[in-house]
Structure 1
Amino acid sequence: MTNFNVNRCSRIISVIVLLLSLCVNAALANAITPAKKPVPKDCVPLGDWVVPGLGKTSQQKIIARAVKASVVLLGETHVNADHHRWQLQTLVALHAVRPNMVIGFEMFPRRVQAALDKWIAGELGEKEFLRAAEWDRVWNTDANLYLPLFHFARMNRIPMVALNIETKLRHQVAEKGFYGVPLEEREGVTRPAEPSQAYMDFLLPIYKQHDRKDKKTGEITQDDPDFRRFIGGQQLWDRAMAQILQQAATESTDPEKPLVVGVMGAGHVLHGFGVTHQLHDLGIQNVIALLPWDSSKSCKQLVKGVADAVFGVLPHVSESFRPQFQRLGIRYEMGRGGAVVLQVEKNSIAETSEFMASDVILEMAGVPIRATEDVINVVKRQAPGTWLPIKIKRDGIEMLVIAKFPALNL
């Protein structure tokens, strides 16, 4: 081989080695270079804290402010797993700075407080606790969503308090007015503070969505007696929870008052209309309201005052927290000859079946609905991929609704 050919081959080999080296280095660089944080596309990017009306902030600043409060409210959408993960993360951060804490839960009525005390004392296992707290009967949402919160409280011996009242009482007040219910049946709840005009303006469109119309004018106004009773029922709910939170914040014998945290639906927290308004009336002025903010939520709703701060999370329900039993997706209470629908969950079987608030469920699969457990038991027995005929009464007219339960994806 001539020197020319040798030199030429050497240069070719050198170029090949160089190219291979560049490819390997590029591959290694891609492998070890940390991924950059996604460019924010939403008003509340995932994993970021935002103060509505002011802009992005840090968790350190939010926690530093929250631990100085008397009460911190953590809102949620009940079936969103990320909302509960965020609540746990926030509880851990708050507890690290202010370990003297009490956690109140909307999920429990006052009458099951003894079960919460036994759980914290380590006297009950998970199944025993959920049974004693009547979880399936009262809340009927996958307990796996909440158990990490309950275990955190027990592990750190943080008292848990039941904030809620019986749905029967809310229904009575909404129907008869506060003073229409005998004193001994009010569960110790005092008269709620009058609603603000802003709260009335906020709730009226929601109320109208349920096709309620004045029989004479065909239009609903804020002076409508039914609307005022509806407001009264909501306020009673807020007042009841605020009272328990206020007692936990002020009646402790510990010289250093505890930080009281309330875990509840976002509707009780938004804009300070609900529980915050009632706490102020009860003398608790230093209240911090924090909310998870779904990345798909409209930025138009992120207005000043909607909460003290919001945290960006995913909007979907996690696959890992699918209920272990069938769910229709309603909140209800017994009355008017059946189960009265109070709320229809978004993206639920009930919503797909076009259930509406105020519908009265009379029968399910031909079984008369006479008790709270009747609805739960019928739905739990429903096989995936089947249809459930449900007789309801809407505006005085009986009709049949078909709830279609999806087949399992194996």
Structure 2
Amino acid sequence: MQAGFRFGTWVGAVGLLTALLAGTVKAGSDCPAPGAWSTPAGEPLDAAELYADLATREVVLLGERHDRMDHHRWQLGTLSALHGQRPDMVIGLEMLPRSRQPVLDAWVAGELDPEAFLKKSGWYEHWGFDPELYWPILHFARVHDVPLLALNLEREYIQRLGHEGWDTVDADTRDGVSAPAAASQGYRDYLEAVLERHPAGMGPDSERFIATQLAWDRMMAGGIAARIKAGGDTPPLVAAIIGSGHLEYGYGVPHQLADLGVSEAAVLLPREPGGCADSDPALADAVFGVPHDERFERSSLMLGVHLESDDAPGIRILRVQEGSVGEAAGLEAGDRVLRAGEQTIRAAGDLQRVVQATPPGMWLPLQIEREGKRLERVARFPRED
């Protein structure tokens, strides 16, 4: 598995969806040249003409694999070019739930420093990927006074919507977003293929998996559509930063946007050598060649534990990945992590922050509780080659 909560502390099935949908395309040779735009079939596109067309759209959806710094740098360049065409632009973020909208507003207004933003937004609890990946975009919005728009719901609500039905989450909590349009057969096949890559014994059944994905897509589409509607006769251009798995082939968010009456949505995807899809023109409106550059790589350290929150001290380990650092450290399902290094662990985000700060090749002391006994374990992270 290439991604998840990047440091291996995943919470629930919704977090795992992020991992599985992060990069679903087939390898191929029809990649655009680095720094160039093309159609999915490999036909070159003129950048000036492309941006002129994008400026007439209601929505521009920018895909990503969440843990790729070069994808986020491409997004930043594209946002900058779009802003030159449409200074009324709004940037939508998959990363945070609607309840954190006041924090995004305060960030753009210059009222928060980075540390306060991470704390008040609950970044690690809601997202979990290294914020260094997203700082350039967040600072761009602040410098240019571009509004940021929270598109998601808390994970627990997304999971309830998918597993228990739309009426289990009150309309105010979901901002009045209506139930999703049914998935096309193509999307169902796409998601079934994703589910086949699910680690054994960890996945929800296919219907719940698909329903949860639809809930996720619908909430993001609903946030975008509501912002356009609020603009009245002069709606802004909403440029949304969303994982590619929600965008490819128009199946996810674009399909839900169309159902909500937003038809002028463009999908843009980054592609690096060896990571291209087939030549299906339905993949996206345009793809951009991102040169693979190791300087842009982020550490992929993972503890490899799947966590479950409850009211007891520490954080409970639900599962341990086979072959992971956590397994090598002797962690087991049912253990509770109480301390990591000098940090008392009260939530999944606490453990994520500590693992994130641990350099490759270092050891991380862990205090755990197992069957009422406190034990010491050491997580040994491999060195980078």
Interval containing the TM-score (normalised by the shorter chain): 0.7 to 0.9
Shift of 1:229: 1.0
* 2:341 paired with 1:363: no
Letter of the 1:55 counterpart: E
SS in 2 for 1:305: helix
**Residue correspondence of structure 1 range 251-262 to structure 2 within 5 A:** 251-253=230-232, 255-262=233-240
The equivalent of 2:349 in structure 1 is 373
Contact 1:67 1:94 in 2 (8 A): yes
In structure 2, relative to structure 1, the CA distance for the partners of 1:364 and 1:295 (3 Å cut) is farther
Distance 1:380 1:312, change over 3 A: closer
CA distance in 2 between partners of 1:288 and 1:326 (Å)? 34
Query: RCO higher in 1 or 2 (8 Å CA, sep ≥ 6)?
Result: 2
Q: Which runs of no fewer than 5 residues in structure 1 stay unpaired?
A: 1-40, 214-219, 342-348, 392-401
CA contact (8 A) 2:126 2:155 kept: no
Query: Which residue in 1 is equivalent to 2:375?
Result: none
Q: CA deviation at 1:265?
A: 0.9
CA separation of 1:227 and 1:179: change in aligned 2, threshold 3 A: farther
| Aligned match of 1:304 | 281
Shift of 1:189: 3.5
Distance 1:62 1:141 in 2: 31
Q: Is the 2:60–2:240 Cα contact (8 Å) retained in structure 1?
A: yes
Contact 1:269 1:289 in 2 (8 A): yes
What amino acid does structure 1 have at the position aligned with 2:289? Answer: G
Q: What residue identity is the alignment partner of 2:269? A: L
**TM-score, normalised to structure 2's length?**
0.75
Shift of 1:147: 1.2
Query: How do 1:7-22 residues align onto structure 2 when only pairs under 5 Å count?
Result: none
The alpha carbon displacement at 1:50 in A equals 1.0
Give the deviation of 1:298 after TM superposition: 4.3
Question: The residue matched to 2:280 in structure 1 has which SS?
Answer: coil
Secondary structure of the residue aligned to 1:261 is: strand
**Aligned match for 2:140, one of 136, 152, 157:** 152
Query: Any gaps of 5 or more consecutive residues in structure 2?
Result: 1-28, 327-331, 369-377
1:228: how far off? 0.9
Q: 1:373 to 1:53 in 2, by over 3 A?
A: closer
Deviation for aligned residue 1:211: 5.8
Deviation string 1:238-271 (CA, Å, 9 cap, x unpaired) is 1111111111112125x42211110111111111
Contact 1:104 1:261 (C-alpha < 8 Å) held by counterparts:
yes
Matching residue within 100, 110, 116 for 2:88: 100
Q: Is the 1:102–1:158 Cα contact (8 Å) retained in structure 2?
A: yes
Q: Which residue of 1 aligns with 2:264?
A: 286
Partners of 1:386 and 1:407 within 8 A in 2: no
Q: Post-superposition shift, 1:226?
A: 2.1
- Call closer, same or farther: CA 1:328–1:319 in 2, change over 3 Å: farther
In 2, distance between residues paired with 1:226 and 1:280?
27
Match of residue 157 from structure 2: 169
Tell me how far apart the structure 2 counterparts of residues 93 and 364 of structure 1 sit (CA, whole Å): 48
Identity %: 37
| Separation in structure 2 between the aligned mates of residue 170 and residue 235 of structure 1, nearest angstrom | 9
Other structure's SS at 1:157 match = coil
Deviation digits for residues 34-92 of structure 1 (CA, Å, limit 9, x no counterpart): xxxxxxx7532211111123611121122111111101100111111111111111111
What is the TM-score with the length of structure 1 in the denominator?
A: 0.71
**AA of the residue aligned to 1:305:** A
Instruction: Provide the rounded CA distance (Å) in 2 between the counterparts of 1:353 and 1:152.
Output: 37
What's the C-alpha RMSD, in Å, of the aligned pairs?
A: 3.6
Aligned to 1:405: 381
Report how far residue 191 of structure 1 moved. Answer: 0.7
Change (3 A) 1:197 1:332: farther
The residue number in structure 1 matching 2:70 is 82
Query: What secondary structure does 1:283 align onto?
Result: coil
Alpha-carbon deviation of 1:369? 8.6
Stretch moving more, 126-135 or 145-154: 126-135
Per-residue deviation at 1:171? 2.2
CA distance in 1, matches of 2:175, 2:235: 25
**How far apart in 1 are the matches of 2:349 and 2:241?**
25
1:266 and 2:244 are equivalent in the alignment? yes
1:239 aligns with 2:215: no
| Alignment match, 1:91 | 79
Q: Deviations over 1:156-202 (max 9, x none)?
A: 11111111111111222333233455656656442111000000111
CA displacement at 1:404 relative to structure 2: 4.9
Q: What SS does structure 2 have at the residue aligned with 1:107?
A: strand
Cα pair distance change 1:180/1:361, threshold 3 Å: farther
Q: Which of the numbers 165, 172, 181 marks the counterpart of 1:193?
A: 181
**Residues 260-292 of structure 1, C-alpha deviation per residue, up to 9 Å, x if partnerless?**
110111111111111101101111011000010
C-alpha displacement of 1:351 = 8.6
State the distance in 1 between where 2:308 and 2:180 align.
21
Query: How many aligned residue pairs are there?
Result: 335
Cα pair 2:270 2:289 within 8 Å, conserved: yes
In the alignment, the residues of structure 1 paired with residue 306 and residue 60 of structure 2 have an alpha-carbon distance, to the nearest angstrom, of 26
